[in-house]
Chain A
C-alpha cells in the first residue's frame, strides 16, 4: 500500500531531491571503488563521512516533522537516535562472535571483563538482523509513545515540554553510563567486525551503507511529503498555529501529536541505526543533551517547516563542523552558537526561507520591469495614431 502511495501520491517535483541524493551517492560509491591510483578515486573516509551526514540529515528531518509542522520543540530527539544506534550496535556486537579479545562465542568482551556468566535476557534475539531491525523501530517508538502519551495527555507544551525532553535524554545518558546496565557503560559498544556477513572494514561495505542511508533518507522524505500533504498534515499545522481552535473543532489534539511524535522517533531510530556501523561505535555520549540541541540548530539553519531545509541544514552545518574542528577545534562551539544567533536574527525561516524570499523579490522586480515595458509599448501606437491624425488633419 505504501508502495502504491509512493508511486501515485507525491507530485513529480517531490522526486527531485531523492533523485539527486541517490544519483549523487551512486556516483561517489562508484568512484570509491576505483583503484586508488586513479585520479578520480574517493577515499573510504569521505564515503563514511558522507554517510554520516546523511544519517544526521534523517535525524534533522525527524526533528523538523515535529517542530516545524506540529510545533513540538523536542530537545531530546538525540535519545531516539541513540536508542536506534544501540539496537544496531547490539546486533553488531553479537556478530563479533569468537573474534573478540576474550574469544567468548556468546558474551561480548565487556561482559566477560565484568565477569558476567550469561547473556542478559534483553540481549536475546539481537544475533538476528531482522530482530535488531525491529527493535530499531520498537524501542524508540515505544519510548516516544509512553513519554508522549503522558506529556500530551497532560497538555504539557512549549518550553516545559522542551525541558522535559532534555531531562529524558539526560536521564538516559546517566543510565547508559552505568556498567551494570549491560550496554558497555562508558565505552559503549565498539570493535564491530561485520554486518550481514560483509566486513565493516571494506570500502565496498561503506559505499553500500552510504547508499542505504541515502535510500532511507529519500524514503522518509517522500513519506513526510505525503504526510504533510494529507489532511492529517493540515491538522498538524492547524495544531501548531491555533491549538485550542483545533480542539474546539473536535480534533483530539493529543492523539495527533502522539502519532507524529512516535513516527518521528522511529525515523530518528533508523538514522541512529545506520549511523553506528558507519562510525564504528556507539556510546552514552550520543545521549548528551547538547547533541539534541545541535540537531535543532541544523533544522533552524536549513529552515524549519520545509522538508528540504533540515536536510540541507544538517549537511552544511556538519560539513562546516568537519572543516572547523580540523582547523580550530576549540572554536567550533562558539561558531555554532554564533551561527544559531545569526540565523535566528536574520534568517528566521532558515536558508530555504531566505531562498524563497529572494526568488519572490526577483520575480517581482522582473514583473515590474515587464509592466514598464508593456506600458511603453502601449503608449507607442497611441502616439502613432495621434501623429497620424495630426498628419491627416494637416
Chain B
C-alpha cells in the first residue's frame, strides 16, 4: 500500500526554518513498527499560541505522532524541535512534561482512587523529585490555583468526590484540568469529546478555545461538528504523513481528502 498522494502535501510545509521560531516543529519524522510505517516523513509546524486540529482515518498515525512528541516513542528518523532548539527525541516523558508539554489520553485517565482535589494537587507545576515531594506541605497558593482550575472545568462542587465516581464526561474534564494544573505551553489533546453528549461537546469546544487564549493546543478528533466548532486550521493525516492542511472548508473540498474519507 504505497501511497504517493501523501508526497505533495509534505512539500507544502514551509521549507527550512521560518523567520519566527515555531513552538513545535516536526521535520521528516518516521516511525515504523515491524515494517509498518506508522509515521512516514511527517512534517508539522505549530506556531506559538496556535490551536490546531488534527484529523485523519484510523491508523493515520495521530496517536503515534503524540507518542513521538511526548517521548513515549522514539522516531527512527527526523527531528522534533520544541521552542526552536530543544530536540524532544533526546528526552523522556518526565523531562518533556517538565519542559511544558501536557498530554490528555484518548481514554480518560485520572487517578481513580484519589479525590478530584488530589488529582489536581499532584498535577500542579512544581518540583517532582521524591525527596522534595515527601516533605511538601499544602500551601494556600496551591489551594488558590486548584480552586481556579476547578472553576474552569466546572468540578468545584465535586472536589471531594473520588475521581473514580465521576461520569465519563466529568473524567474528560478532570483530565483537562490536570493538564491545566501542569501549566504547559503546549497541550496535546487526544479525542476529548469521545463519548460526550452534544451539550458537553459544545462546552468542551468553548473550554478549549478559552485555554487557547494563553496556551497552544493540538487537538486530535474524529468528531467533525466539534472540529467545526473549534474553527481553527486543520491538518489531515493519512498513512503517516500530511495529506492536506488549511481551514476545514478548504480541506474538506480537497479531492484527496474526500478520497481517503470515502474510500476508493
A residues lining the B interface (CB < 8 Å): 227, 230-232, 234-235, 237-238, 241-242, 244-253, 255-256, 259
- CA of A372 to CA of B134, assembled, Å: 47
Given the complex, which residues of B lie within 8 Å of A234, measured CB to CB? 114, 118, 121-122
Would you mind naming 5 contact pairs between A and B with Cβ atoms under 8 Å apart? A231-B122, A244-B93, A245-B109, A246-B122, A247-B94
Task: Determine whether the beta carbon of B133 is less than 8 Å from that of A231.
Answer: yes
Given the complex, which residues of A lie within 8 Å of B110, measured CB to CB? 242, 245
- Which residues of chain B from 117 to 153 have a CB within 8 Å of any chain A CB? 118, 121-123, 128-130, 133-136
Task: Report the nearest B residue to A253, measured CB to CB.
Answer: B94
- CA of A124 to CA of B182, assembled, Å: 52
Interface size on B, residues (CB 8 A): 29
- Smallest beta-carbon distance B34→chain A, Å: 20
Task: Determine whether the beta carbon of A249 is less than 8 Å from that of B123.
Answer: yes
Task: Report the nearest A residue to B182, measured CB to CB.
Answer: A249
Given the complex, which residues of B lie within 8 Å of A249, measured CB to CB? 97, 122-123, 128, 178, 182
- CA of A347 to CA of B136, assembled, Å: 35
Contact for A232 among B70, B111, B114, B134, CB less than 8 A: B134
Task: Report the nearest B residue to A252, measured CB to CB.
Answer: B94
- Smallest beta-carbon distance B176→chain A, Å: 13
Total number of residue pairs linking A and B with CB closer than 8 Å: 76
Contact for B70 among A227, A242, A248, CB less than 8 A: A248
0/1 interface trace, chain B 88-112, chain A, CB 8 Å (1 if under): 0000011101100011010001111
Given the complex, which residues of A lie within 8 Å of B109, measured CB to CB? 242, 244-245
- CA of A12 to CA of B106, assembled, Å: 43
- Smallest beta-carbon distance A90→chain B, Å: 32
Task: Report the nearest B residue to A247, measured CB to CB.
Answer: B93
Q: With A232-B130, A244-B109 in contact, is A250–B98 under 8 Å at CB? A: yes
Given the complex, which residues of A lie within 8 Å of B178, measured CB to CB? 245, 249
- CA of A227 to CA of B129, assembled, Å: 15
Contact for A237 among B111, B123, B182, CB less than 8 A: B111
Contact for A245 among B98, B111, B130, B136, CB less than 8 A: B111
- CA of A50 to CA of B31, assembled, Å: 60
Task: Determine whether the beta carbon of B122 is less than 8 Å from that of A250.
Answer: no
The interface centre, meaning the residue of A241, A245, A250, A253 with most chain B CB atoms within 10 A of its CB, is A250
- CA of A231 to CA of B137, assembled, Å: 8
- Smallest beta-carbon distance A245→chain B, Å: 5
Task: Report the nearest B residue to A250, measured CB to CB.
Answer: B97
Task: Determine whether the beta carbon of B94 is less than 8 Å from that of A250.
Answer: yes
Does B258 belong to the interface (CB within 8 Å)? no
Given the complex, which residues of B lie within 8 Å of A241, measured CB to CB? 111-114
- CA of A248 to CA of B178, assembled, Å: 11
Task: Report the nearest B residue to A240, measured CB to CB.
Answer: B113
- CA of A251 to CA of B112, assembled, Å: 18
- Smallest beta-carbon distance B186→chain A, Å: 13
- Smallest beta-carbon distance A2→chain B, Å: 12
Given the complex, which residues of B lie within 8 Å of A227, measured CB to CB? 134
- CA of A253 to CA of B72, assembled, Å: 14
Task: Report the nearest B residue to A226, measured CB to CB.
Answer: B134
- Apart from A234-B114, A245-B105, A249-B182: 15 A-B pairs, beta carbons within 8 A: A230-B136, A234-B118, A234-B121, A235-B130, A242-B110, A242-B111, A242-B112, A244-B109, A246-B111, A248-B97, A249-B97, A249-B123, A250-B128, A251-B94, A255-B129
- CA of A293 to CA of B178, assembled, Å: 38
- Smallest beta-carbon distance A188→chain B, Å: 37
Contact for A238 among B70, B111, B130, CB less than 8 A: B111
Task: Report the nearest B residue to A260, measured CB to CB.
Answer: B130
- CA of A181 to CA of B130, assembled, Å: 37
- CA of A349 to CA of B70, assembled, Å: 36
Task: Determine whether the beta carbon of A238 is less than 8 Å from that of B114.
Answer: yes
The interface centre, meaning the residue of A230, A247, A259 with most chain B CB atoms within 10 A of its CB, is A247
Task: Determine whether the beta carbon of B133 is less than 8 Å from that of A232.
Answer: yes
- CA of A237 to CA of B98, assembled, Å: 21
0/1 interface trace, chain B 209-227, chain A, CB 8 Å (1 if under): 0000000000000000000
Given the complex, which residues of B lie within 8 Å of A252, measured CB to CB? 94, 128-130
Given the complex, which residues of B lie within 8 Å of A250, measured CB to CB? 94-95, 97-98, 128, 182
- CA of A58 to CA of B177, assembled, Å: 40
- Smallest beta-carbon distance A223→chain B, Å: 12
- Smallest beta-carbon distance B65→chain A, Å: 15
